[in-house]
């Protein structure tokens, strides 16, 4: 009884505090944040849905290849033979559950122009080396692909070092270079669509896309899905954007050959994040970043993605704001840092206030602490308003996810079907609270530590650039955070994992063929 009285006293006092003018402002602000997110997701869904309607219209009009191009005449040999050469550079690190299927989708493009694929590893001992070698051997008669051994980075992140090593080895006649992460699952027409936009508008500096996360069921995977969803608004503009995702970036190859705008030196000399560095260069030189509405990619998350791995991933995402290339970039990152912290906790705090109001009201009939007039007049109505705004927000998120699922299935008619039925929207709501609560904590830790462990390598920053690199090897984690990739391993493990991935990929392909 004494414990209940203490709880009742706490709830009553907290409810009164949450009815102050400032507290009510915070709650109203939380409602507006929910509605703003809902509006942004609704606009993004509208942009993506126009593409699905266009593809359906093309197919209904007799163009069975509408998922590749709008005009079937573009598939004529006379057009295809004049397409520009593209080099696809894929920096690799480790080998995981979905890598083999992703690589297959990347090298089986229906692009009709000359293509080369450069898989870049730091050494032949990388766990990605054996399965990539086997995959290249399997497609050696139909695909121009090779492995590039980049060696160890000394002045920048290993990913950037691998990217630049791939650029150095690309064909001298390549007009465009496409950087892809190993967790990107391409559509058959992706490379063609990106190239067509570059040809149509030579002013484009970088083209990019964005992933559609497919949660595996764990809270950590839903937190990553929720983390990416607000950013998806910036990639669903249907054209010009200020956002850049390093998982998919197409650029002019000549910019790297001539180090135009300092793209090579900016990345090589202390670069930690490829997309943040290139976005800063684009902003400094007022260059165009473009995101076509078809550039959305299924991104299945690891089936055993644990909460600690999600936390490590979040730490990496907040750490990128500590890297910069000049004072303007530093100020922009500080603004993003401050606004994201403010908005994250402004989103979460109203829910705690609502819990105090509801808890006090539920306990009022059984306690000696009655509900105050302010709680009845302001607290409970604001809690109800927040609930309505949350439902609107979740419906908008659901609608955007549904549209992107439909678009992914239309763009990859022969690929594994993506389904909305696997999403648990109760866990999505919990993930929204957890992720927005933890983001400011992660940001603060990144700011004061200035160091991060990325795939077994510890990077130290100084004045926004990589200053020191420590290779942890077996002393660090043996698995990457997001993809759960085996970072070290030994041949027996890797062969088993490769055969398991190959078997799983073959079963999915066979199931798709039977259903078609």
* CB of 11 closer than 8 Å to CB of 359: yes
Residue 478 confidence (pLDDT) above 70: no
Residue 474 confidence (pLDDT) above 70: no
Per-residue model confidence (pLDDT) at position 422: 86
Q: Region 251-257: what's the mean pLDDT?
A: 97
Rounded-to-integer distance, Cα 175 and Cα 330, Å: 32
Confidence of residue 46 (pLDDT cuts 50, 70, 90): very high
Among all chains, which residue has been given the structure tokens 């997309």?
275
Where in 92-242 does DSSP place strands (E)?
115-121, 145-149, 176-180, 204-208, 210-214, 240-241
DSSP annotation string for 68-120 = T-S-GGGGSHHHHTTPPPEEEEEE--SB-TTHHHHHHHHHS----S-EEEEEE
Confidence of residue 72 (pLDDT cuts 50, 70, 90): confident
Report yes or no on whether pTM surpasses 0.95. Answer: no
Per-residue model confidence (pLDDT) at position 512: 45
* CB of 157 closer than 8 Å to CB of 459: yes
Confidence of residue 493 (pLDDT cuts 50, 70, 90): very low
Per-residue model confidence (pLDDT) at position 375: 65
Among 62-76, 124-138, 329-343, 413-427, the least confident range:
62-76
Q: How far is CA 497 from the centre of its chain?
A: 25
Residue 475 confidence (pLDDT) above 80: no
Residue 384 confidence (pLDDT) above 80: yes
Read off the pLDDT of residues 256-303 as tens digits, 9 standing for 90 and up: 999 999 999 999 999 999 999 999 999 999 999 999 999 999 998 887
Confidence of residue 364 (pLDDT cuts 50, 70, 90): confident
Read off the pLDDT of residues 5-23 as tens digits, 9 standing for 90 and up: 788 788 888 888 888 899 9
* CB of 120 closer than 8 Å to CB of 89: yes
Q: Which residues contact 287 (CB under 8 A, 6 or more apart)?
A: 205, 206, 261, 281
The alpha carbon dihedral of 459, 284, 210, 426 has a sign of positive
The alpha carbon dihedral of 459, 463, 465, 467 has a sign of negative
Read off the pLDDT of residues 31-41 as tens digits, 9 standing for 90 and up: 999 999 999 99
More confident residue, 494 or 217: 217
Among 161-165, 254-258, 414-418, the least confident range:
414-418
89: Cα within 13 Å, side-chain hemisphere: 29
Q: Region 345-370: what's the mean pLDDT?
A: 86
């Amino acid at each position: 009884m004494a414990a209940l009285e203490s709880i009742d006293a706490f709830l009553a006092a907290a409810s009164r505090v949450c009815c102050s003018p400032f507290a009510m402002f915070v709650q109203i602000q939380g409602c507006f944040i929910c509605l703003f997110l809902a509006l942004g997701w609704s606009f993004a869904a509208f942009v993506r849905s126009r593409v699905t309607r266009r593809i359906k219209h093309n197919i209904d009009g007799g163009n069975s290849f509408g998922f590749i191009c709008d005009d079937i005449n573009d598939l004529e040999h006379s057009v295809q033979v004049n397409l520009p050469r593209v080099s696809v550079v894929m920096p690799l690190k480790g080998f995981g559950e979905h890598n083999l299927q992703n690589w297959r989708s990347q090298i089986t493009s229906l692009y009709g122009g000359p293509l080369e694929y450069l898989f870049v590893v730091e050494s032949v001992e990388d766990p990605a080396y054996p399965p990539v070698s086997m995959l290249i051997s399997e497609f050696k008669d139909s695909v121009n692909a090779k492995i590039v051994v980049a060696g160890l980075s000394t002045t920048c992140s290993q990913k950037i070092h691998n990217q630049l090593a791939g650029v150095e080895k690309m064909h001298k006649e390549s007009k465009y270079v496409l950087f892809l992460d190993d967790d990107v699952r391409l559509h058959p027409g992706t490379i063609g669509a990106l190239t067509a936009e570059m040809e149509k508008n030579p002013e484009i500096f970088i083209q990019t896309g964005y992933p559609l996360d497919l949660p595996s069921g764990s809270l950590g995977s839903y937190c990553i899905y929720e983390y990416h969803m607000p950013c998806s608004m910036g990639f669903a503009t249907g054209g010009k954007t200020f956002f850049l995702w390093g998982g998919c970036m197409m650029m002019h190859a000549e910019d790297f050959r001539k180090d135009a705008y300092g793209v090579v030196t900016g990345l090589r000399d202390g670069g930690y994040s490829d997309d943040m560095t290139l976005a800063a260069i684009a902003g400094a030189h007022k260059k165009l970043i473009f995101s076509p509405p078809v550039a959305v990619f299924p991104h299945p998350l690891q089936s055993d993605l644990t909460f600690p791995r999600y936390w490590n991933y979040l730490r990496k995402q907040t750490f990128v704001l500590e890297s910069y290339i000049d004072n303007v970039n530093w100020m922009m990152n500080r603004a993003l840092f401050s606004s994201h912290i403010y908005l994250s906790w402004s989103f979460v705090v109203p829910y705690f206030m609502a819990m105090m109001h509801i808890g006090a009201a539920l306990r009022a009939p059984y306690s000696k602490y009655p509900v105050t007039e302010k709680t009845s007049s302001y607290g409970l109505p604001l809690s109800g308003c927040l609930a309505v705004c949350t439902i609107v927000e979740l419906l908008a998120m659901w609608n955007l996810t549904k549209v992107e699922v439909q678009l992914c299935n239309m763009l990859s008619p022969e690929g594994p079907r993506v389904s909305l039925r696997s999403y648990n929207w109760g866990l999505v709501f919990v993930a929204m609270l957890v992720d927005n609560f933890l983001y400011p904590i992660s940001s603060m830790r990144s700011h004061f530590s200035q160091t991060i462990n990325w795939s077994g390598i510890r990077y130290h920053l100084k004045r926004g650039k990589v200053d020191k690199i420590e290779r942890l090897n077996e002393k660090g984690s043996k698995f990457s955070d997001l993809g759960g990739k085996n970072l070290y391993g030994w041949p027996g493990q890797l062969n088993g994992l490769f055969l398991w991935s190959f078997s799983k990929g073959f079963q999915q392909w066979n199931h798709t063929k039977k259903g078609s």
